[in-house]
Chain A
């Protein structure tokens, strides 16, 4: 223990020189996958070039994701004597300008700054808001994301300086039962989606007697568009690893495995580094910190199957078998990997454990509401203004999240998809729902791993249902009848509807299929795959009926079910749509109302995107109406 404390003391000292530099400024760059996708690596090059060119001395640190991905690339600068100031949407040119201005001229360009990490006084002095007071961040409670975007994920000392591994040290001094007690008091529920009380799983695994046990971290985040786990691992990998270490110690396991999807190479690289550093500090290996506890963590990569995020399928995959879910019981806590008791939890669950151990279970309870304590990360994406990774206490309403944190939608709000591809779609009238495991389920959706996809009136719910069921159809393992065939039936029916061949009985067919899938499937994928379709039919029945009976897609997405028309009252004759149309379907002189020929239009949406007046709308498809009337006469 002693040497870890000593290391931490030194780390704290080093951190202080970073947070309050004496003479060398520090430049931070958001360099998780979101930042990189926005161009952070180009910005990094620009920073380095600028420093070289002007012969400036500065420490450049790549950090993880701080949350508001719509602001990436984010670059922060701490000048000696000043707090850390953050600049958003930084391009290489902008970076150059800011670096030169700050480091050479001492002018931090307050007008360009997005926020700072100092005190109210600094705000008063410069007019720059505090970063965490920004509308997107203010309502958030950052427990799991505490270090994300602020520390260098590839430096264990930074983690130690923030109190990292104190949770583990506390666990080592207590006994396994007290650790489990803390978890119980905290009320932490599995963050992978099912919401099973975490302490129960740990308790079962501890109670199982065997010659060895495993701890497995499920980092196979397969939901399309979800990146909570990715961001956590890329920004603060030690939080997850410390959680696994605590889990291993508490349950008596000796081998940890973190199963990461192969599509996360940066996360894998950072994990490898972090594990190496743990070994160097004696936090992995034999007789850790003199406690007699042996533990090691290995990384195993997935191979591109969503179904391997299901815990028993994941275990099958680790065993070298086909990733097919297995019936439970027996539960992994009793009989898991290679037949041994296995504690398998989601990345975020493990990521939360260290802070619970560090601050106590009661501390965690203060967030959230009884039965749904603590905080959860969500990825807020879609048609909302402020997209990114957020962390809020459970029990916050959808309305608060979308409108307060997300800044609302530009076009009228239509729906929100929660929980990923196996979650349901809720409408505006459900926006006062507080996000809890139970309420989501009651509304016909799930909490899932925390994806929140916001949709506006330009989204077609039927098309959205079709997209998600197509996903489930391809990702189903194919083992059990209801899921394998049910997803196909739903897909065939939705495609039929979207092609304009919908029939009245299709709604009942889908309802019946959905019920069979939910009741009779072997695993969670089959049980939940029909959620987008079912909730779509529940809350947006009129839209489905319009598709089926009227052959009309009001959102103008289903190409067979609408044609474009230019509203005379809105058209300003600017000619932009004429110039972008690749098939010359629009004609019209300047300052004169334009006309669109539906029979030539290929529905590429280019004109819609370019029209500032929203003058192009979708109307029922008259070209195909005759054909459908004919079919109706025949049938």
Chain B
């Protein structure tokens, strides 16, 4: 089991984000999640800047696993990054 930090930038309405959340839960992986569509104003702008630094196309989900960045619900890449 992984022991690295997992962070997810998501949209609450997005199906690929929902699939990613469910997949991480199924794998028993704890994660921090930010639903960007639920943010407003300055907080939203700041988070978008954070995402752009790691994923210039600013698409969802953007997943950080340790030092790896995965864009989109890429099951195999997520498993590999988690050493599962």
A binds B: no
A residues contacting B by CB (< 8 A) are none
